[in-house]
A and B are shown apart, each in its own frame.
Chain A
Amino acid sequence: MSLLSFRNVWVEYGDKVVLERVNIDINAGSFVSIIGPSGAGKSTFLRLALGQEAPSQGQVFLDGKPLRPEPGPDRGIVFQRYSVFPHLNVRENVIFGLDCASSPILGRSFGAARRRAVEQAEEMLIAVGLGHVMNEYATALSGGMQQRLAIAQALVKNPRVLLLDEPFGALDPGIRADMHELVTGLWQQHQLTIMMVTHDLKEAFKLGTRVLSFDKRRVDPHAPHRYGATAVYDMELTRKNQAAEAARMMAAI
């Protein structure tokens, strides 16, 4: 059974059809890159998985159960920006998620629970390379470090699936390469399932085990919003076909 299933999913805003007839199964342990032109509904697709939005038709299943249309701790997210809390320091940003679970009234743990949370958070921060800035406020970090922090925040919750919406879009190339290494490492080490939206084709093929490309199958020139986008390419990548698929894809676009 697949981890996430989209069954004949449509998303419409009024007359505007954004996604149509989306049928996709995401297997546990896969790293799915999602590409496509701007406005194709990539973020919308991710919001469906996140539960931030409900489909207008069709259904989304997580572990075979219908997904409640509300974000929850079984799905982690990293946005391009604004995913860290500016009023907390780096360590507290990670402890936040642990405290939410252990202390639903105060949102803060004490004593032994607190010590465990601190230990766990610091371990995670060291793993993402932020061991040296744990006392800084989150907004004092550079863009790349903030994204590392956002990943650490998500990972301490052990999410079933990690959703990334252009997580490295605002970073410069050198930093991006470091982040690729980090994400690949974490993915293998924690056996994560990842869905990542990106505009960078190279990134999509380098990191992904599968690449989904969203676009419209049909276009009505008189009513551009009449038809929605769907997954027009869906490629499983193995080591062998990776380069070939990438070349084919580049040629197609």
Chain B
Amino acid sequence: MTRLVNIRPGRKAAAGLAAIPLILIVIGYMIASAVRHAANPADKLLPTFMAMGKAFKNLALDADPITGQILLWADTLASLERLGIALAIATVTSILLGLALGLIPLIRAQFGALVATISVIPPIAILPVLFIVFGLGEASKIMLIVIGITPVMVRDVAAFVAALPQEQMIKAQTLGAGSWLLTIRVALPQMMPRLIVALRLSLGPAWVFLISAEAIAADVGLGYRIFLVRRYLSMDIILPYVAWISLLAILIDMALQFISRKAFPWANRSSN
């Protein structure tokens, strides 16, 4: 008999298998919600899909009477701007430090241990410091994300660059490349796909830091909204927001993956 580890689903079967747990969760939620609403029609804990759809529609389409803004878009824009700036800073820093640490033994000797040390500091623990130093504005929220994800990304790409085959580095030097050309023509292009992988893996933590910072000090943003309406037990807003955040996260991840495939086709081949 075929062993369990060797049974592989086909494409269609795999999609079907993946859908089953999701469908079961939705059905389970609907049943639980219906049961609670039968007992108490004003139940707030498990809102029906109808109620959530209505609340989400209000946020997505109707302007807020006080600010005149459409809240969902204002929140989304604010959060994505913070996230985008932070990811850009983290990416540029990772490119520069990753190359420097990965390629130049002197720099690795001097700063490698420092980066390793910084990367073990729990970023949330220094959030108060950030608020004190950068104030309660945008800078501290962006810095929290940057500090939260950059050290790990730097270490990852630096280790990758350092592990590029020595033979290749020697070969490039025999072809006339000096330190600079080694950096931009040999190490940088090979590092890029790895950098995108590191960025994709950092997206999860980045969202966590973003929402934490927004929950503590903000007046607009996806995380701010969730924590604001929590006071009113508005699950009909919180759950759609969580779904919306997840959707954004998935879309960003897919976009990065798409860019990597298009820009670095050689990286997705296995070498022989």
Binding site for B on A (CB under 8 A): 50, 52, 70-73, 75-77, 79, 81-88, 96-97, 99-101, 104-107, 137, 139-140, 142-143, 150, 153-154, 157, 159
Contacts and interface: CB of A to CB of B under 8 A. Distances in A.
5 contacts: A73-B175, A82-B165, A100-B172, A139-B271, A154-B174
A87 B272 CA distance: 14
A72 B174 contact: yes
Given A79-B167, A82-B168, A85-B168, A96 B175 contact: yes
A150 B186 CA distance: 15
A107 B186 CA distance: 10
Contact of A96 (B185, B269, B272): B185
Q: Closest 4 interchain pairs by CB?
A: A100-B176, A97-B175, A82-B165, A71-B173
A92 to B, nearest CB: 10
Given A139-B271, A143-B272, A83 B178 contact: no
Interface in B139-196: 165, 167-168, 170-178, 180-181, 184-186, 189-190
Contacts of B167: 79, 81-83
Interface string B235-272: 00000000000000000000000000000111101011
B172 to A, nearest CB: 8
B267 A87 contact: yes
Which among A87, A142, A153, A154 has the greatest number of chain B C-beta atoms within 10 A? Answer: A87
A52 B170 contact: yes
Contacts of A77: 170-171, 174
A77 B185 CA distance: 19
Interface of B: 165, 167-168, 170-178, 180-181, 184-186, 189-190, 264-267, 269, 271-272
B266 A137 contact: yes
Main secondary structure of the interface of B (DSSP, over half): helix
B272 A137 contact: no
Contact of B175 (A86, A105, A142, A153): A153
A72 B171 CA distance: 9
A52 B190 CA distance: 23
B103 to A, nearest CB: 15
B186 A85 contact: yes
Given A86-B271, A87-B189, A139-B271, A70 B173 contact: yes
Contacts, number: 85
Contacts of B271: 86, 139
Contacts of B186: 85
A70 to B, nearest CB: 7
A96 B176 CA distance: 9
A100 B272 contact: no
Contact of B264 (A87, A105, A107, A154): A87
A88 B189 CA distance: 9
Contacts of A85: 168, 172, 186
Contacts of A104: 178, 180-181
Contacts of A150: 171
B175 A83 contact: no
B170 A157 contact: no
Contact of A73 (B168, B176, B265): B176
Which among B174, B264, B265 has the greatest number of chain A C-beta atoms within 10 A? Answer: B174
Which among B173, B184, B272 has the greatest number of chain A C-beta atoms within 10 A? Answer: B173
A79 B185 CA distance: 20
A105 to B, nearest CB: 8
Given A71-B173, A85-B168, A97-B176, A142 B266 contact: no
Given A87-B266, A96-B177, A100-B172, 4 more contacts: A79-B171, A100-B185, A150-B171, A157-B176
A75 B177 contact: no
A76 B171 CA distance: 8
Contacts of B176: 72-73, 97, 100-101, 157
Given A104-B181, A137-B266, A143-B272, A71 B190 contact: no
Contact of A140 (B172, B189, B267, B269): B269
